[in-house]
Amino acid sequence: MQASELNYFKEILESRKEQIEKNINSVSSELNQLSSLELNDEGDHASANNNSMVESAIVNQQAKELQEIERALTKIANGEYGICEMCEDDIGFQRLKVKPHAVYCIDCREIAEKSN
């Protein structure tokens, strides 16, 4: 992969990383505010708990994506970015455009999904 392509993906990954970190911090502060509220009836408690569960699920998913992004940035630094972890072929440019933190090429991704 050319240096210009690596820089392109590095910028995308770093931008997404920053966005996710802001989202996680924002949701965490909202959850802290919710837990400090004095709720008067069961409806308020149910609504707050539902919002809390949804936001926690979103944070968990974004935390997972953040780990994948960190891993991709490490691979860029080590010169291993864009190589499929299963077959060790190059991951296609178009695939990386869609999912810059992809670890598998299209074929291996299908194999991995079927085995899970």
Most distant pair of Cα atoms in the chain: their distance = 60
What is the share, in percent, of the chain residues with pLDDT greater than 90?
63
| Dist CA 80 CA 59 (whole Å) | 28
pLDDT tens profile 47-56: 656 666 777 7
Does residue 45 register a pLDDT over 60?
no
For residues 10-38, average pLDDT: 83
Superfamily assignment of 1-81 in CATH? DksA, coiled-coil domain (1.20.120.910)
Per-domain boundaries in the chain: 1-81, 83-116
List the structure tokens of 22. Answer: 């802001």
Q: What is the pTM of this model?
A: 0.77
Burial of 83 (0-12, 13-18, 19+ CB in 10 A): middle
| Dist CA 66 CA 40 (whole Å) | 37
pLDDT tens profile 92-111: 999 999 999 999 999 999 99
